Structure 1
Amino acid sequence: MLTALDIADIVLIRKVTLAFGRGLAVLTGETGAGKSILLDALGLALGRRADAGLVRSGAAQGVVAASFAPPPGHPVHALLQERGLAGDPAEEGALILRRVVRADGGSRAFVNDQPVGVALLRELGELLVEVQGQHDARGLMDPSRHRDLLDEAAGAAAERDAVAQAWARRRKAAEALAALEEQVKAARAEEEWLRHTVGELDALDPQPGEEEELAARRTQLRNGAALADCLRDALAAVSGQEGVEARLSDALRGLERRAAEADGLFEGAVAACDRALDAAAEAVAALEQAGERLELDPAVLERVEERLFALRGAARKHQLPAEQLPAFRETLSARLAAVEQGDAALAQQQAALAEAEQAFAAAAAALTARRQAAAAALAEQVSAELPPLKLPDARFAIEVLPLPAEQAGPAGMDRVAFLVATNPGVAPAPLHKVASGGELSRLLLALNVVLTRDQAIGTMIFDEVDQGVGGATAAAVAERLRRVADRVQVLVVTHAPQVAAAGARHFRIRKTAEGGEAATTVEPLDDTARLEEVARMLSAAEITPEARAQAARLLAPDAAAAG
């Protein structure tokens, strides 16, 4: 909701500060007083195009600040947080959009006194304010919004959610199928190579750690003769008549023969020689065992080298270390299996996609049925509002047509358009192509009365919605504006006294001459001033007692309620 508007040095306005509240606010004034200036100024704060001509003559710059009070959870909080300009989106607080326009045409934008780009100001403005009129391409005039508006009126949130979920599942299934098709295509392209290579590796049958073991064994086999000589020398040194073992045995026997005479002196030496003799025996056994294990057969060496060279040759061929050959074999085998099982996997994924498409089509059909029923009911309700608004021959229709299959999406398979014909015998045309400003404004008013709108938009502006009408039609316009204002803040620029009398707040726009210079002022009216303004609107050149009496009747609470 717009709470305040501050304007300085814009066109003919020197300085104006206005406070707004809930309900219907009316802006009146004589023709040429500058009512459009007020809306142009607000447009600047909402991110509309800046122009040097908007700066008051002689001023260096013009400034407009619009203050809003968006409720907790309003989309602007999330947008501000996304841009790093706010804290918790659930927090409530004032939001001030400010625009400074220099005399040279340049401009700056601010949100809560933080500099921002004009594009962000425009985004925020579109979330806060909706201008109803044929020259405003947003809101009801935006054909891309018609489907959402119809769904809101239909209460189709559950159906929309079901369609969005079904679409997400369908898209996921389609992406999975596309990925699988690419995998199978790539695998089939290399199938011959895979079969040949896997066959070679199967024949080779590389084992983990095999290359390292073969290299160690090859080294041992190639040094076999030298190792055998070394073992023989070592065995001769330990065993035999001249070996360590025989000498230790002789020494132990000698010590044992003389031990009784030594009175315990030889006990340590006897024990040590005994242990050394045992160790020598172990050494002999180990040397003999090593000799038995030592392979000296050249044929064995040849076989080991052939196997080692085969493993290393395969590793060079596939440009990887030999120890990775077993894992490489498994990888290629899996890819070959994917080729062999590709048709079955593709068929399974195609079936999953077909199932997802059927589920989406069913959910979309349910949403379409809901839309068609709501379209007929909504068109009937809007049509019932048109005769009192001096549109007796107007026909309003809502078109729900199927989209091309490739344009279906999370919102379903329908294109929705609001159509209207204001003259008999003329086929309904899209709402945004209707040319008559007054008729279109009243038609938009009727739509706003009937539609169940997303209340994120807190402020609606109607510019001269009563153009070209008076009497009962103007009263009907006033009554419908008041109904819209029961849900959302409404600002209306009007020439109709019936509409002016319906407002909860009334602002008068006047043009004055100060020191030979024209200036536009805006002032809120109290009850007395308001009576005079409505009487002026009812009168011709002079405000008469009859005009004041009629104004008092229009402003009476009972009259307002009956309107």
Structure 2
Amino acid sequence: MLRALDIRDMLIIDRLELAFQPGLNVLTGETGAGKSILLDSLGFVLGWRGRAELVRQGAEQGEVMAVFDLPKGHPARAVLEEAGLPGGDELILRRVNTADGRKTGWVNDRRVSGEVLRRLSDTLVELHGQHDDRGLLDPKGHRDILDAYGALDAARAEVRHRWTLRAKARKTLTEARAALDAVRAEEDFLRHSVAELQKLDPQTGEDAELDARRRSMQAAEKVRDDIAQASAALGYEGAEGAMARALRWLEGAADRADGRLDAPVAALARAMAELDEASHGVADCLESMAFDPRDLEDTEERLFALRGLARKHAVLPDDLAEHTAALAARLEALDAGEAKLADCECAVTEADAGYDAAAAALTKARQEAAARLDAAVAAELAPLKMERAVFTTRIEDAAPGPEGVDAVQFTVATNPGAPAGALNKIASGGELSRFLLALKVCLSQEQGRGVTMIFDEIDRGVGGATADAVGRRLSALAAEGQVLVVTHSPQVAALGAHHWRVEKQVAGEVTTSTVVALDPPAREGEIARMLSGDTVTDEARAAARALLAG
């Protein structure tokens, strides 16, 4: 509920403080007194796009503050939470417009963008009138309005869920087709490469092992000849034979040398033992370095094959095993792709069927809700002297989407046999106002309260009993909430629970607008003025008292 509106230096308003109440609040005044400025100012603090120049002439800036009461569970609380703004039972909106056009807004003393203000305004205020392109006159919102009237939240949620499943299944199918097509394009390459790689069967770490073996064999080949020559020099044909012969000769002569050869013989014997050990060591080395030249050829051939395939596939030799597995997996995906594609197509068919069923159920529920709404609006139109008019909720086919397959539009035919059309294109000013009022009464009965409803001269073009019917419906709308109505109709004004008069004053060269709260005697005089014009007669006062008495 809008509790207070504080306006400073906006257009022709110098300073204005208004304290609104629950129920029906009426604002009256002569044409040009400034009633529309109040709505412009309220729209400004709510972030609505309106006039570009709002600051009062001569002022540095204009400012509007609006205070709302927020009961528990009010949808504005969710907007505050999402925006990271402080909440509570009171919501204070403030917005400043400088003379150079800069606009700055605050919510509960936190600076915010105009977008946040507009999101909050959607939960706080509804404006209804002949130029209301944000509400009931906007066909884009008619489907949501019908669904809210019919309490179709659960059916809509099921359609959204089915739409999500459908989109997911179709995406999976598209991806499966793309993957299969990509694999098919390289099928020949994959089959050849996998066969080639699997035949070679590369192992991780094999490149380093083969390279080490190759280097070892190449090194052995270079030094083995020298070792063999050394072995021959140490053997019987070389040093070993010569030393053995020398030892025999010395041993034969030792008996005749009176002991002088004993030491040389012993030293030679020791040398023979060392020589024998050296000879066996060299022989062992030769044996260990022995290899079949074909082993070197085989090692080099495999090493070159590994490195050749690594270059071919642009990977490291040690990554060939993993690359082989990856190519084999892609080949398996190709072989299994047809089966997977068939499964995906079945999933899409199933998801389509689920969505179609949910959408059809929602369409049926909308058609039933539309019939109830049309009947309810027709019942409201009769007291508003529009019993010959026809209101129809038109439901037509639309492209499938998360909200179903229906396009919804409210249409009217003002006379029997006349073609139906959009509300704002078929109905005249007065008719349009009554259509909107009848529709809002029906919707409010189903949707409950929660927002402040503003009706801007919705009674224009009607009078007498019809104006009285308009006023009584506005009063009914305000019974459990808050309605603000700008009116020129005395019948509507008389039904208000709270009454303000907008006045324009001229002092010197300065024109200002102010708003005065009317007590019962002042209300009588204002309604009498609305009945008779500038000259208030006794008859007008009597008629005003009769209207106020109900």
Settle same-fold status: TM greater than 0.5.
Answer: yes
Superposed displacement of residue 197, structure 1: 1.0
Is the 1:396–1:418 Cα contact (8 Å) retained in structure 2?
yes
Deviations 1:204-241 (A, max 9, x none): 1112322222222222322335479889999xx9xxxx
Tell me what 1:24 maps to: 24
Superposed displacement of residue 29, structure 1: 1.4
Superposed displacement of residue 8, structure 1: 2.2
- Correspondence list, 1:282-301, <5 A: 295-301=290-296
Q: 1:493 aligns with which of 486, 491, 495?
A: 486
- Partner AA of 1:94 in structure 2: L
SS at match of 1:66: strand
SS at match of 1:391: coil
Does 2:529 align with 1:536? yes
- Unaligned stretches of 5+ in structure 2? 240-276
Q: Alpha carbons of 1:302 and 1:470: their partners in 2 closer, same or farther (altered >3 Å)?
A: same
Q: Alpha carbons of 1:228 and 1:465: their partners in 2 closer, same or farther (altered >3 Å)?
A: same
Query: If the length of structure 2 is used for normalisation, what is the TM-score?
Result: 0.83
Tell me what 2:255 maps to: none
Does 2:212 align with 1:220? no
Does 2:508 align with 1:508? no
Q: Alpha carbons of 1:231 and 1:172: their partners in 2 closer, same or farther (altered >3 Å)?
A: farther
Larger Rg: 2
- Partner AA of 1:124 in structure 2: L
Q: 1:396 aligns with which of 391, 398, 414?
A: 391
Superposed displacement of residue 535, structure 1: 3.3
Tell me what 2:343 maps to: 348
Deviations 1:432-482 (A, max 9, x none): 323522211111110110015666861221111222222221221111112
Tell me what 2:12 maps to: 12
> For 1:133 and 1:50, how far apart are their aligned partners in 2?
15
Does 2:352 align with 1:327? no
Tell me what 1:245 maps to: none
Does 2:132 align with 1:136? yes
Query: If the length of structure 1 is used for normalisation, what is the TM-score?
Result: 0.82
- Partner AA of 1:437 in structure 2: G
Tell me what 2:162 maps to: 166
Q: Alpha carbons of 1:218 and 1:3: their partners in 2 closer, same or farther (altered >3 Å)?
A: same
> For 2:499 and 2:518, how far apart are their aligned partners in 1?
6
Q: 2:354 aligns with which of 353, 359, 363?
A: 359
Superposed displacement of residue 331, structure 1: 0.6
> For 1:75 and 1:230, how far apart are their aligned partners in 2?
97
- Correspondence list, 1:48-67, <5 A: 48-49=48-49, 51=51, 54-67=54-67
SS at match of 2:365: helix
Is the 1:142–1:432 Cα contact (8 Å) retained in structure 2?
no
Superposed displacement of residue 530, structure 1: 2.2
Bigger drift between 205-214 and 225-234 goes to 225-234
- Partner AA of 2:96 in structure 1: R
Is the 1:531–1:552 Cα contact (8 Å) retained in structure 2?
yes
Tell me what 2:431 maps to: 439
CA RMSD of aligned residues (A): 3.2
> For 1:136 and 1:3, how far apart are their aligned partners in 2?
23
Tell me what 1:201 maps to: 197
Q: Alpha carbons of 1:309 and 1:508: their partners in 2 closer, same or farther (altered >3 Å)?
A: same
Superposed displacement of residue 317, structure 1: 1.4
Q: 1:479 aligns with which of 472, 478, 489?
A: 472
> For 1:295 and 1:378, how far apart are their aligned partners in 2?
103
Superposed displacement of residue 309, structure 1: 1.2
Bigger drift between 7-16 and 288-297 goes to 288-297
Superposed displacement of residue 321, structure 1: 0.9
Tell me what 1:303 maps to: 298
- Correspondence list, 1:235-274, <5 A: none
> For 1:287 and 1:162, how far apart are their aligned partners in 2?
90
- Partner AA of 1:100 in structure 2: N
- Partner AA of 2:132 in structure 1: D
Is the 1:44–1:99 Cα contact (8 Å) retained in structure 2?
no
- Partner AA of 1:345 in structure 2: K
Deviations 1:235-278 (A, max 9, x none): xx9xxxx9xxxxxxxxxxxxxxxxxxxxxxxxxxxxxxxxxxxx
Superposed displacement of residue 164, structure 1: 0.6
Is the 1:50–1:101 Cα contact (8 Å) retained in structure 2?
no
Q: Alpha carbons of 1:291 and 1:69: their partners in 2 closer, same or farther (altered >3 Å)?
A: farther
Is the 1:464–1:495 Cα contact (8 Å) retained in structure 2?
yes
> For 2:71 and 2:489, how far apart are their aligned partners in 1?
33
Is the 2:147–2:366 Cα contact (8 Å) retained in structure 1?
yes
- Correspondence list, 1:33-112, <5 A: 33-49=33-49, 51=51, 54-84=54-84, 86-87=85-86, 91-102=88-99, 106-112=101-107
Tell me what 1:248 maps to: none
> For 1:56 and 1:222, how far apart are their aligned partners in 2?
100
- Partner AA of 2:524 in structure 1: L
Is the 2:217–2:291 Cα contact (8 Å) retained in structure 1?
yes
- Partner AA of 2:315 in structure 1: L
> For 1:544 and 1:129, how far apart are their aligned partners in 2?
38
Is the 1:461–1:491 Cα contact (8 Å) retained in structure 2?
yes
- Partner AA of 1:465 in structure 2: I
Bigger drift between 198-207 and 287-296 goes to 287-296
Deviations 1:503-538 (A, max 9, x none): 222111122333464332201122332233233334
Superposed displacement of residue 48, structure 1: 3.8
- Partner AA of 1:555 in structure 2: L
- Partner AA of 1:451 in structure 2: L
Tell me what 1:426 maps to: 418
- Partner AA of 2:401 in structure 1: G
> For 2:217 and 2:58, how far apart are their aligned partners in 1?
106
> For 1:350 and 1:290, how far apart are their aligned partners in 2?
71
Q: Alpha carbons of 1:370 and 1:233: their partners in 2 closer, same or farther (altered >3 Å)?
A: farther
Bigger drift between 302-311 and 56-65 goes to 56-65
SS at match of 1:187: helix
- Partner AA of 1:447 in structure 2: L
Q: Alpha carbons of 1:287 and 1:419: their partners in 2 closer, same or farther (altered >3 Å)?
A: farther
> For 2:119 and 2:127, how far apart are their aligned partners in 1?
14
Tell me what 2:153 maps to: 157
Q: Alpha carbons of 1:515 and 1:195: their partners in 2 closer, same or farther (altered >3 Å)?
A: same
> For 1:170 and 1:324, how far apart are their aligned partners in 2?
41
The size of the alignment, in residue pairs, is: 506
Does 2:404 align with 1:409? no
SS at match of 2:496: coil
SS at match of 1:328: helix
> For 1:287 and 1:554, how far apart are their aligned partners in 2?
135
- Correspondence list, 1:516-555, <5 A: 517-555=510-548
Is the 2:136–2:142 Cα contact (8 Å) retained in structure 1?
yes
- Partner AA of 1:402 in structure 2: D
Q: 2:121 aligns with which of 116, 119, 125?
A: 125
Is the 1:75–1:456 Cα contact (8 Å) retained in structure 2?
no
Q: Alpha carbons of 1:328 and 1:535: their partners in 2 closer, same or farther (altered >3 Å)?
A: same
Deviations 1:270-307 (A, max 9, x none): xxxxxxxxxxx9xx999999887655211112111111
Bigger drift between 66-75 and 148-157 goes to 66-75
> For 1:51 and 1:430, how far apart are their aligned partners in 2?
27
> For 2:218 and 2:161, how far apart are their aligned partners in 1?
71
